[in-house]
Structure 1
Amino acid sequence: MANCTAIIVGAGRGHRFGGPLPKQYRDLAGEPVLRHALRAFASHPAVTQVIGVIHPDDRDLFEAAAAGLDIAGHTPGGAERQDSARNGLEFAAGLAGGAPDLVLIHDAARPFVSHCLISG
């Protein structure tokens, strides 16, 4: 079976969205938006590891959102989304087992990803 890593990019600040928290940490059905996305990938049978890419100031928020889920770790985001994705790829390559065979990159603020879509 291929080593499949999901990188959930959530380092943005959501300034256009407004409010006290970035949108990935806002409540949706009793949980942070980010948790819905993390859970979808962490519970998928083909995904071997899930990585969060986060803003350095959001470590506590991320850890609370990811509590109890099988997450390989998190790494800081970059100045732009593509920089954050690269940071996630570099982090994934440094995990035990080396670089993954397959990488899925998903936005943390998109909670409605299904197992069917992930299997794609």
Structure 2
Amino acid sequence: MPRSPVWMREETRMLGFVLSGIHAVLLEKKRSRSLVTYTIVMNIMSACVAVIGILLLLLEFLIFYVSAEEPIWPQVSGKILSDYLFIFSLTELMVSSTVTHWAYQAKRNR
């Protein structure tokens, strides 16, 4: 069932209001500088958490491969989920490092 056009207009107005508020905050120099600083700090914290997660997953992989017994299907499915978590943790580390670098360059060039 299609949605009414009135609902779409109200949603578009709300989105415009939110985006204009964000734009006003980013244009104000004092707040923009502190926003970039907060971005750098949060991305550094995110990278630290990603490194801790990667180390814990590597420990889990080591324990999984060292165990002598034949794994049963729940262990294998858990290992597959850990593999995906490892990939996403590496992606988080790369993205947070890249954004931190960009934010640091933006702060330095202002």
Same fold (TM over 0.5): no
Q: Give the TM-score normalised by structure 2.
A: 0.24
Q: Which has the larger radius of gyration?
A: 2
TM-score (norm 1): 0.22
